[in-house]
A and B are shown apart, each in its own frame.
Chain A
Amino acid sequence: MTQTATTPDTIDRGQVGGGWGQFYDDRLSPIKRYAVRNPSLIVGLGLMLSLALFVGIGHLVWDTELYRVLSTPTRLAPSFEYPFGTDTQGRDLLAVSIRGTPLTLRIGLIAGFVSIGLGTVAAFLAAYYRGWVDYGVRSVVDVGLAMPGLLILILVRINIGRELTVDEMGFALGMVGWVFPARTIRAQVLVMREAAYVELSRLSGTSGMGIIFKEMLPNLIPYITASLVGAVAGAILASIGLEAIGLGRFGDPTLGMTIYWNIQFSSIILGMWWWWLPPLVAIVIVFLGLFLISSGLDEWSNPRLRKRV
């Protein structure tokens, strides 16, 4: 039984050979072939899709206005009438899950796009033009990496003195989260800059912007996509963190705020498992889904991994 598993050398070679054979023989489309070889991407997308289905169908069949405080009797265990039960303040927890999950995803998506957008622009400017531009970007990134953005955000939020809306929080998280993608993408651009095809393009008189948009950006899209998924996951983690320590908007039924109320009313000690379980499951599905998607994309973005593992 162990023999098949303990000889990875031969298995590796067999797989590479099989891979090449498949490359020529099968009539599978590239996407399908990739999916078969790389199940984690499919599983990850499946998890996210199941969450989307839950939210979509939920909006159609359930009265989501029940997420508001005092709209139901308090502290009911799950029953036919309230399938997810109700909490201490009289929210219907099914409505909370249906309304809250997309809100949290929205924070993550806004923050992810803002941070990757800013990071990509900064990385290309720095790595392509070098000189003082690079020096400036690198200094800002180094300082930004040394200062945890979440803490700065806590200070800003405290001083604004009012609650941040979901969109504002996503935007704010994006503004403090761009330095890490800027650094990693810059490293990729620096390597690519020396590649022969970029050299050739430069020699044939393509302008700087032309090289960036026609030669480099298309080649970096896999990497940027993988970074985006990571950034979304990071922003969701940060937003839940901010909300769990009481810096979210109290009226919003986001996953983080639900966690906040759980801690605040000690739902675990009260034995109200139906209160903390749904947000927990939703968060685990989101993180696992995004993680699997990003590790599935990893192989696409990093061809070095393609032959091994």
Chain B
Amino acid sequence: MTEQTQAVQDSSTSITSSAFRILSAVFGNFVVRRFFFFLFVVWLASTVIFIIPRLSGQDPVKEKLLLEAQRGGAIQQGLDAMAKNYQKRFGLDLPIWVQYGNFLSDLARLDLGTSIAFFPRTVNDIVFESLIWTLGLIGTVTIIAFTLGTLAGAVLGWPRRPGWVQYLFLPLLTLAAVPQYLLGMILIFVFAFSLGWLPLFGGYEPATLPSLTFGFIIDVLRHAILPAFAILFSVIGFWAIGMRGMMINAQGEDYMIQADAKGLKGARIFMRYAVRNALLPQVTGLALVLGTIITGQVLVERVFSYPGIGDILFQAIRLSDFFVIRGIVIVIIVGIAGATFLLDVLYPLIDPRIRVKN
């Protein structure tokens, strides 16, 4: 009895200590290195973003003032003095190194500056208001698409699948090849314009104010269905194709033959041997396509006039609101770099093959 508890205790301490050793080995160098790379990417991107306008020799403030003056038909007298005044206000008359330092310290404090077009509003305000819509849509859609697409791909790449499954492959391929915003346009035409089942555009009914009531939530969901499906269909195809390829590659592996030779049940071989091994590279795939999904989303939002980050980006481009455009670019880059960092750090924890190599 006591011997048994002793043994249990021993094994449990050895498990915790070995887990601790793995964790410390992993976190000791890899995570720190990866985190510094993340910081490096963000720093480099911000530096590029800082340099580009200076290289082009254009002055965003003056550009905007000129544009407004042209629109209003005003006399351009005093425009230079006005631009100078604004430059002082935005700190654009300081030496370039001081400007660079200010820019980086602003970023470190997560301050993206002030919008030109919607003047008193800060970029933070504008971007984060729209980011909620974008993240809500993209987060839900990515999770659903990953699950369904991976499942479909796993079944498609399995030799003992039911016969009808293969007919799924061609539609999935076709959908993956069609850009999301085009799918969006077709969906609008069929379900909103012709059938009139769902709203044509926007994130909620134009006349309502955002609030946390039941009716408003239903309204938001109704508006989200079409843009969500536009992204969903094309992304599902992407996951399915990747997963199918990995499943086919797994067929020839020794562990599959061994599992077969041991006489294991088909379902067990499918889930525990084939899918489990094929699933992991899909996670790397997620890191690689994140940028594509987000830029695709920007366009889908444009097609649907969805009040997310893509729509704001379009408005800012139209109004040549440089600081909002810059803010959105920075937010997206930091978002993608951060997500890639998290995936890279989590990856060794779920894939022992990588853990051993590190």
Contact = CB atoms under 8 A, between A and B. Distances in A.
A159 to B, nearest CB: 4
Interface stretch (A4-12, A27-35, A63-71): A4-12
- Interface of chain B, helix or strand or loop or mixed? helix
Given A143-B41, A148-B291, A245-B302, A154 B317 contact: yes
B159 A143 contact: no
Contacts of B48: 147, 152
Interface in A236-277: 237-238, 240-241, 244-247, 259, 262-263, 268-269, 271, 273, 276
A38 B174 CA distance: 17
Contacts of A245: 298-299, 302, 310, 313-314, 317
B248 interface: yes
B336 interface: yes
Contact of A287 (B177, B310, B313, B314): B177
Contacts, number: 141
B58 A155 contact: no
A2 B295 contact: no
Contacts of A238: 295
B26 interface: no
Interface in A152-175: 152, 154-156, 158-161
A159 B58 contact: yes
Contacts of A5: 163-164, 166
Given A245-B302, A284-B178, A309-B248, A151 B295 contact: yes
Contacts of B188: 268
A12 B185 contact: no
B317 A8 contact: no
A146 B40 CA distance: 11
Interface string A274-309: 001000100110011011000100000000110011
Nearest to A234: B292
A142 interface: yes
B314 A246 contact: yes
A230 B249 CA distance: 21
Most buried by B among A247, A284, A305: A284
B92 interface: no
A217 interface: no
A198 interface: no
Nearest to B328: A151
Interface stretch (B8-16, B112-120, B210-218, B319-327): B319-327
A159 B56 contact: yes
Contact of B317 (A12, A158, A271, A290): A158
Interface in B146-184: 159-160, 162-164, 166, 173-174, 176-179, 181-182
Contacts of A156: 52, 56
* Range, interface on chain B: 35 or more
Contacts of B49: 155
A6 B179 CA distance: 33
A159 B252 CA distance: 53
Contacts of B302: 244-245, 263
Contact of B177 (A12, A148, A273, A288): A288
Given A5-B166, A246-B314, A269-B193, A241 B295 contact: yes
Contacts of B291: 148
> Dominant SS at the A interface?
helix
B179 A154 contact: no
Contacts of A287: 177-179
A150 interface: yes
Contacts of B337: 146-147
Contacts of A158: 317, 320, 322, 325
A304 B250 CA distance: 12
Nearest to B310: A245
Nearest to B305: A263
Contacts of B298: 241, 245
Contacts of B332: 148, 151
A159 B185 contact: no
B333 interface: yes
Q: Most chain-B Cβ atoms within 10 A of its Cβ — which of A241, A268, A305?
A: A268
A2 B162 contact: yes
Interface string A94-120: 000000000000000000000000000
Given A148-B333, A241-B299, 18 more contacts: A4-B163, A5-B164, A142-B41, A145-B288, A146-B340, A147-B44, A152-B52, A154-B329, A155-B326, A159-B55, A237-B179, A244-B181, A245-B299, A245-B314, A262-B185, A268-B188, A288-B178, A309-B248
12 contacts: A146-B45, A146-B336, A146-B340, A147-B45, A155-B53, A244-B302, A245-B302, A245-B310, A268-B189, A268-B193, A308-B248, A308-B252
CB-CB nearest 9 A-B residue pairs? A5-B163, A159-B56, A291-B177, A148-B291, A146-B41, A287-B177, A2-B163, A151-B329, A8-B159
